[in-house]
Chain A
Amino acid sequence: MTDVQTAVLEAARVLAPDVREITLRPDAPAPLTYQPGQWISLRLPVGEKPPLIRAYSMATPASQDGRLTLCFDRIEGGIGSEYLWTAEPGLAMEFSGPVGNFTLPETDSDLVFVAQHTGIVPFRAMLHLLATDPAFGRSGRRVHLVYGTKRQEDLVYHEELAAMSRRVSWLDYHPVVLEGAPLDTAATGSESDVLAAHAATWIPFVPMVCGVREFTLPTRSFFMEQLGFERRAVKVENYNGPAAR
C-alpha cells in the first residue's frame, strides 16, 4: 500500500470566494521531497465508506521546513471539499504521495502554461522554482502564462503573479476573466481568446495545460489542430475524471 503519512493542518486562508489554501505540517522528521506539479493524496474521514481519497497539487516548491501548501475549490455538495473548507488548524490529517508526472519538462524551449481556476496551482509552484533558478533567468527562455477564471475575484495568486512578471523578464503573464469589466491587470475573454491571438507567435514552446477535463481537452485540441502539436507533446493535468455516457 502506498505509505500513509500524517500531518497537522497548520494554517488556512481564503483566496477567493470559493477557493481556500491550506498548509499542512507533516509529522515525518524529514521534509517531503517532490517536484513542482506533483500532488499528494488526502485520505479524508468522510463519506459513506471513508476514507474518501482526493488528490491536491502542491502550490509551492518543496521547502526545507517540509510544509505542504495545497489549494482547492469548494464544490457545492462535494463531500471532500466541504470537509476541507471547514477544517480548522490543528486538525490531524492523513495523506500519501507525492506522486504525478505533470512536472517541468526537460527542454530548451519556452514554456506555455495554460490554467483555468485552481489549475493555476501546479504552475505557481513551478514559477516559484524557476524564479529562484539563476540559470533559468540567464537562459533567455520565456514562460507564457495564460490564466483564466470566471470573475476577477476568482483569480487566486494574481497579485503575486503580476508582481513576479514585473520582477523577472522571462514571465509573460496573461490573466483573463470571462465576466465583468476588466481592471488594468486583466483582460475580458477566455483562455482560448488569448491563445488564438498569441500562441502562434510563441512557437517553439512546450505547452502545459491544467484544470478540469472540460477545459484541458479542448485546449489540448487547440494546440493539436491549430498549431500542429502531437497529442502527447501537450502536457495535461486534469482535476476531474471523464464522465460516462
Chain B
Amino acid sequence: MAGTNPYISATLVEKPTQPYQITILFEDEPHTFTVDPNEIPYDRSGLPGSILDICEGHHIALEHTCGGVLACSTCHVIVREGLESCNEATDDELDQLEEAPGNTARSRLGCQCVPNGSRSVVIEVPLWNRNAVKETPHD
C-alpha cells in the first residue's frame, strides 16, 4: 500500500464478558439462543460479536451482500430490545442505513451492531428482508 497513514480507523466496541440471550424474529417465530463470549467470533462476517456474526454462528443466514464490510445495507435489522447495550453506530453506518428501506430510529446494520451482553437483545429482521433470511443446515 502506498501512502503514510497517521490515522487509526476502528469502531469502538465493548465486547460481552458474560453470556446473554438474543432473540431473532423472523419466519413468524422467535429464534432464541445464548451468546457465549468465549465463542466470539463465530464466523468471519462483520465485526466480531456483531448480530451478523452471531446469526452466522447460529445457522441463521442473514443477508450480507457486501460480505459484512459496511459497504451495503442488506443486513439491516431493527433492535427491538436492548439497543442501549449495543455499540454506537458510526457516521459511515448511518450513511449506509439511509439507503435501507424502512430505516427506523432503532435500525442498525447487523454487521456493525455489537451488543455488550449486559442484557438480553431482541432483533427483528425487517419484513422486506425476511425472505432473505433462512435457517441453514445444522451440523
Residues of A within 8 A of B (CB): 1-2, 39, 41, 47-49, 52-55, 79, 96-97, 99-101, 116-117, 148-150, 176-178, 190-192, 211-215, 217-218, 221, 231-232, 237-245
Nearest CB in chain A to that of B72: its residue: A99
A150 to B112, CA, bound (A): 30
User: Number of A-B pairs whose CB atoms are under 8 Å?
Assistant: 125
In the assembled complex, B38 has its CB within 8 A of some CB on chain A: no
Q: Are B2's CB and A55's CB within 8 A? A: no
A239 to B1, CA, bound (A): 13
A190 to B2, CA, bound (A): 6
A172 to B138, CA, bound (A): 55
A213 to B91, CA, bound (A): 14
Q: Are A148's CB and B3's CB within 8 A? A: yes
In the assembled complex, B92 has its CB within 8 A of some CB on chain A: yes
Majority DSSP secondary structure for residues of B touching A: loop
Interface size on B, residues (CB 8 A): 44
A215 to B11, CA, bound (A): 16
- Kindly list chain B residues whose C-beta atoms are within 8 Å of the C-beta of A41: 65-67
Residues of B within 8 A of A (CB): 1-7, 9-13, 15, 43-49, 56, 63-72, 74, 90-92, 95, 99, 111-112, 114, 131-132, 134, 136
Q: Are B69's CB and A239's CB within 8 A? A: yes
A177 to B72, CA, bound (A): 31
- Kindly list chain B residues whose C-beta atoms are within 8 Å of the C-beta of A242: 9-11, 47, 70, 90, 92, 112
Residue of A192, A221, A244 touching B3 (CB-CB under 8 A): A192
Known pairs A214-B9, A218-B9, A245-B10; list 9 more (Cβ under 8 Å): A55-B66, A55-B69, A55-B72, A99-B72, A101-B99, A176-B2, A241-B47, A241-B68, A242-B92
Nearest CB in chain A to that of B91: its residue: A231
Residue of B7, B43, B70 touching A238 (CB-CB under 8 A): B70
- Kindly list chain A residues whose C-beta atoms are within 8 Å of the C-beta of B10: 242-245
Q: Are B72's CB and A116's CB within 8 A? A: no
Q: Are A241's CB and B46's CB within 8 A? A: yes
Residue of B2, B9, B13, B95 touching A191 (CB-CB under 8 A): B2
- Kindly list chain B residues whose C-beta atoms are within 8 Å of the C-beta of A116: 1-3
Min CB distance, A228 to chain B, in Å? 18
